[in-house]
Amino acid sequence: MAYTDFRSHAELPTDPFTLGVASGDPTPDGFVLWTRLAPDPLVDEGTGGMPARDFKVKWQVSTDEKFSDIVASGAANATPKWGHSIHIEVDGLDSATEYYYRFRTGKWVSPVGRTRTTPTKNAKVDSLTMAFVSCNMYEHGYFNGYRYLAEEAPELILHLGDYTYEYGPNEYVAAGGNVRQHIGEQTFSLASYRRRQAQYKMDADLQAAHHAAPWVVVWDDHEVDNNWADEFYEKPEIPQPDFLERRENAFRAYYENMPLRRTSVPRGIDMQLYRRFSWGRLANFHMTDTRQYRDDQACGDGWKACREAYNPERSITGQEQEDWLIRGFHKSSARWDFLGNQVFFCQRDADRGPLKTGAMDVWDGYVASRNRIQQGWTDAGVRNAIVLTGDVHSAWAAELKEDYDNPDSKNVGVELVASSVSSAGNGADSIPEDNPFLKINPHVKFYNGQRGYVTTRITEEKMDVKFKVTPNVRTAETVIYTRQSYEIADGEHKLHETYRREVDKSKKLEKFDADDPTKGLEEDADDLVG
């Protein structure tokens, strides 16, 4: 029902919509709308400067940006219990339709966001433009990539983890030094996680990307603690405040600041985050959680030649999520099935000899778990399996193999890895073929160490992939360009290069250590943090 009276029972003296608005988890008839009231976002108490009482927040959805055709509206209470956040689950709308939304409390009106519903499950869809991102470390650089992503206005954005970082000021320093600074010490309390989320949300470029399209989000490690695994924190030899209490605080703050449904409301130390979305008959998105249910990293974590990594009892997903995932593969009739995943999926051996040296925090530390998932989609007859990954602060593309030790074995899917938005600073360009990993692992086809994101256009016949680069994040001024692009034809499980930007050899290029391919990899930079 439309309304014109925006007045609230209580007035705030300054604008409470400093963190912007967002939408997410779209369905054929609706989506989640989010905002959080915070007139003073960075106060120590994590309250956002809000009084300790409820505030009425009104919302509207319209088919046009001027709100002359309002199709849904309502009101909800923003409460201190949930950090004065609002999660509106809108339904009853038309499928495959673009909408605009806004909030109001008292005299204050929020920015306008754009979102959309998905096509119905059995609808024939001509195309989908989808982008995916990960790893925005505030201290390491400006979020320039989000500004350009907002300008592209894809229909869907996936965030694959490390939306915030837990470190105190200058505890994790990028090459060349940090350019911004976290407010407050390392996050442990609910107040500190709320304030950290607010500091990131205040970034104008990040807000612009949220305002441009619906997001589907999953976490990785830094939303809680580097390399955490289920109920284990990274460095047990270094005592910290109760980790399960810390995990509960982090989960609560994450929910409060993301456009998530009530099915993801945290219950103590648990939070349901793996879930599934469809885009008509064109695509299914299986969004996974590889942190909350995993076994602890084998052999003490790090890069290891580790027998325990092959233990068939080990899992990175947990049994319940693994069963859910494989059931979804068997039920899928989509042309493309996407696995929204946090950490490197395919084998990435760092040893030129007979040993296998892999990163224990990724799927190489859970080999049997990876084999079961790959076999699951193969047995289910998934037509096009595409794994989407973040985490490693660099861009990669790989063909997934039935047997990674046999380069001639058949391809069973493709993995695409987005670089970070800002984590690890500028990085450097390189000649991909010089990277030792591409020589040791012939199924890995592309590497780039700069910042950026990935855009895709998906049709029934093919998927076009562009690795976008913002070469400078140390200032707010930069450019955007396509570093590499690929076409993945329906049913082929193969990367066809369609464009390669020539390397400017007059500029500093990333150098690799042929004897130690892991040297300098940004995913290991976190291990230097005390």
Considering the domain architecture, whether residues 411 and 386 belong to the same structural domain is answered as yes
Does residue 256 contact residue 82 with C-beta atoms inside 8 Å? yes
CA distance 339 to 1: 38
Residues 410 and 378 occupy one common structural domain: yes
pLDDT 10s digits, 324-351: 999 999 999 999 999 999 999 999 999 9
**Any idea what the CATH number is for the domain that residue 61 is in?**
2.60.40.380
123 shares a domain with 92: no
Asked if 158 and 73 sit in the same domain, the reply is no
- Other Cβ atoms within 10 Å of 137 Cβ, number: 26
Helix (H, G, I), strand (E, B) or coil at 61: strand
CA distances to 11, 203, 220, 347, 361 from 251, in Å: 30, 21, 12, 30, 21
Q: What is the pLDDT along the chain (530 residues), one digit of tens a residue?
A: 333 344 444 589 999 999 999 999 999 999 999 999 999 999 999 999 999 999 999 999 999 999 999 999 999 999 999 999 999 999 999 999 999 999 999 999 999 999 999 999 999 999 999 999 999 999 999 999 999 999 999 999 999 999 999 999 999 999 999 999 999 999 999 999 999 999 999 999 999 999 999 999 999 999 999 999 999 999 888 888 899 999 999 999 999 999 999 999 999 999 999 999 999 999 999 999 999 999 999 999 999 999 999 999 999 999 999 999 999 999 999 999 999 999 999 999 999 988 999 999 999 999 999 999 999 999 999 999 999 999 999 999 999 999 999 999 999 999 999 999 999 999 999 999 999 999 999 999 999 999 999 999 999 999 999 999 999 999 998 899 999 999 999 999 999 999 999 998 888 899 998 888 998 776 544 443 33
**217 and 348 share one domain:** yes
Torsion of CA 160, 166, 172, 175, to 10 degrees: 30
Point out the domain boundary residue: 76, 91, 117.
117
Q: How many independent structural domains does the chain possess?
A: 2
The pTM assigned to this predicted structure is 0.96
Same domain, 97 and 156: no
Looking at the fold, whether 183 and 97 belong to one and the same domain comes out as no
- Same domain for 43 and 153: no
Distance CA 400, CA 410 (A): 9
Instruction: Tell me the two tokens of residue 17.
Output: 């919509």
Q: Which of 93, 117, 141 is the last residue of a domain?
A: 117
Six token digits for residue 48: 């956002």
CB distance 181 to 171 below 8 Å: no
Pair 366, 514 in one domain = yes
Strand-pair partners of 132: 158, 454
437 lies in the same domain as 500: yes
Residue 276: domain span: 118-528
Answer for the pair 422, 147: CB distance below 8 angstroms, yes or no. Answer: no
* 151 and 81 housed in the same domain: no
Asked if 75 and 222 sit in the same domain, the reply is no
Final residue of a structural domain among 117, 151, 185:
117
Q: Residue 446's Cα: distance from chain center in Å?
A: 20
Strand-pair category, 128-133 with 395-401: unpaired
Give me the numbers of helices (H) and strands (E) for the chain, helices first please. 7, 24
**Which CATH number fits the domain that encloses residue 495?**
3.60.21.70
